A = this chain, B = another copy of it.
Amino acid sequence: GTKEDVARMESNLDVLWLLFGAYLVFFMQCGFALLEAGSVRAKNTKNILLKNVLDACLGGLIWWTIGFPIALGDVGGQTEANHGKPFFLDRLQGSSSSTYYAMWLFQWAFAATSATIVSGAVAERCAFSAYLSYTFALTGFIYPTVVYWGWGNFGFLSAYTAEKPYLGGNGLIDFAGSGIVHMTGGGAALMGAIFLGPRTGRFAPRTGEVQDMPGHSTVLAALGTFILWFGWYGFNPVSTLAFSHMQHAARAAVATTLSACSAGVTTLAIHVLGKNTPDVSPALNGILAGLVSIAGPCAVVDAWASVIIGFIGAFVYFVSSRLLLRLKIDDPLDASPVHLFCGIWGVLASGLFANKEFTNSVYGTDYGEDAYGFLMGANGTQLGVQVVGVLVIGSWTFVSSGVVFFTLKATKLLRVSAEDEDAGLDSSHHGGDAYNFASGKLNRN
């Protein structure tokens, strides 16, 4: 009958929406690859491309075997029939089955994103075997654990529990993952950059002065950033997961846009006001800062608030980037300023700017009707939950990824030799240069 047709159509639309989002978020992998390639020196291009390709490929196999089961193994409702099903993607029984495959795909693309963030921070000096190790740890265990805590049906930070959220309020408001995805990736990135130490020559031997090490192609960086922005329209709005909430999705898309716009312009303005010429790179990093900042609050804030969140995100990015250099931490892509520090800001911003109506609409009113933004009139409950979320995700990520990078360093597996670093990773480790413009001419002789 018509009623069944409508229910089936709604279910098909849920799948369509998740697939659409998954494809866009997957394409972000291409964006990261190009942004990172353009931001390193030409001699390390193949190294960073290969890491990004493998973040998707290896990531897929890890996510299939252990990542997804740990993260969202409860997706089928943990009935007897579904026990253990998420391992190797066996088929579910019951109501969750219709979106199960599409959900796996969407979440795989998120997991790959989280892993890719690290590759930027450790660029130009990290050994390839070390890369393989931390990717296994991150995609297979560190990140899935955070997802289970923050988005699972039984997670202690989660807003999606059947019972009252453990932390009170709505549980952690982190709609598309300023904390769960970006802080986790950005936190591991920071640990990687710290344990690896700076690239040779990044800080002048005696004075410690920062030496500029510009990437080899602004075009690739700009192309990568545009693709990331494009893909972010899957990352944020499609985090509604179900099709029935397109109003939330549209609001999230607008908030995503305005925060990116605001942060891009603000970061460029900060750069120019610091007596620099208007360069492209600050605008690009500003856009990314705005996108990360709004990932968490995108569905629960007003348009004006998203402009403010982006505006503040630009300063968070700028200050944290300077701070790292002051501390002699070399993060070639500014991956931790963008993803960790703006990720923190995004989690907190939800606790400050979440609009009551939107929050109730998205997170329900059973437990957290009065748990919205502190600056929007609520008491501090939700803001407190957000602070706890930041502390938990940050601590877990720092400690767990710290152990990984410490172990790799202690076993001398973390960093390539100074000679290989100087020669470039492409010629020393990956079979030759990424570019061969001369080869046609050699054949002319």
Q: Which of A31-47 contact B (CB under 8 A)?
A: 33-34, 37, 41-46
Expressed in whole angstroms, the Cα–Cα distance for A261 and B63 within the complex equals: 11
Q: Which residues of B contact A247 (CB under 8 A)?
A: 15, 98, 101
9 CB-based A-B contacts, threshold 8 Å: A19-B233, A26-B230, A56-B261, A64-B258, A101-B253, A214-B436, A218-B435, A279-B431, A424-B440
- Interface size on A (CB < 8 Å)? 119
Q: Is A409 engaged at the interface, CB distance under 8 Å to the other chain?
A: no
Number of copies: 3
**Contact present for B250 and A101 (CB under 8 Å):** yes
Checking B10, B23, B60, B278 against A430 with a beta-carbon cut-off of 8 angstroms, the contacting residue is B278
Residue A227 CB within 8 A of the other chain = yes
Taken together as a complex, chains A and B put the C-alpha atoms of A434 and B102 apart, in Å, by: 40
The reply to whether B303 and A15 contact each other, CB–CB distance below 8 Å, is no
Shortest C-beta distance, A7 to chain B (Å), equals: 8
Given A19-B249, A49-B219, A444-B422, verify A30-B284 contact (CB < 8 Å): no
- List of B residues within 8 angstroms of A99 by Cβ: 250
In the complex, A417 has a CB within 8 A of chain B? no
Contacts of A437 in B (CB 8 A): 42, 216, 435
Q: Bound state CA distance, A147 and B320, in angstroms? A: 42
Of the residues B9, B19, B100, B431, contact of A13 by C-beta under 8 Å: B9
Whole-angstrom distance between the Cβ of A343 and the nearest chain B Cβ? 21
Given the complex, which residues of B lie within 8 Å of A444, measured CB to CB? 422-423
Does A257 interact with chain B (Cβ within 8 Å)? Answer: yes
Task: Find chain B residues with CB under 8 A from A100 CB.
Answer: 250
Which of B64, B226, B434 is close to A217, meaning CB atoms less than 8 Å apart? B434
Within 8 A of B (CB), among A295-322: 303-304, 307
Contact A303 B218 (CB under 8 A): no
Residues on the B chain within 8 Å of A105, using CB: 250, 253-254, 257
A101 and B53 in contact (CB under 8 A), knowing A61-B262, A277-B429?
A: no
B residues within 8 A CB of A226? 27, 29-30, 33, 53
**Which residues of B have CB within 8 Å of A26?**
229-230, 233
Candidates B42, B253, B440; contact of A216 at CB < 8 Å: B440
How far is it, in angstroms, between the C-alpha of A254 and the C-alpha of B26 when the chains are bound? 12
**A392 within 8 A of partner (CB):** no
Whether, in the assembled complex, A96 has its beta carbon less than 8 Å from a beta carbon of chain B, the answer is no
Main secondary structure of the interface of A (DSSP, over half): helix
Our pick among B11, B227, B440 for the contact of A42 (Cβ within 8 Å) is B440
Q: Which of A410-432 contact B (CB under 8 A)?
A: 422-424, 429-432
Q: Do the beta carbons of B265 and A222 come within 8 Å of each other?
A: no
A60-B439 contact in complex given A88-B303, A102-B253, A278-B430, C-beta closer than 8 Å: no
Partner of A30, one of B16, B24, B230, B434: B230
Chain B residues lying within 8 Å of A20, measured Cβ to Cβ, are 20
Would B88 and A216 count as touching, CB distance under 8 A?
A: no
Quick check: is A12 within 8 A (CB to CB) of the other chain?
Answer: yes
For residue A426, which residue of chain B has the nearest CB?
Answer: B218
Q: Provided the pairs A19-B249, A283-B57 are in contact, do residues A43 and B440 lie with their beta carbons within 8 angstroms?
A: yes
Q: A377 contacts the other chain (Cβ, under 8 Å)?
A: no
CB distance B436 to A41 under 8 Å?
A: yes
Q: Which residue of B lies closest to A437 (CB)?
A: B42
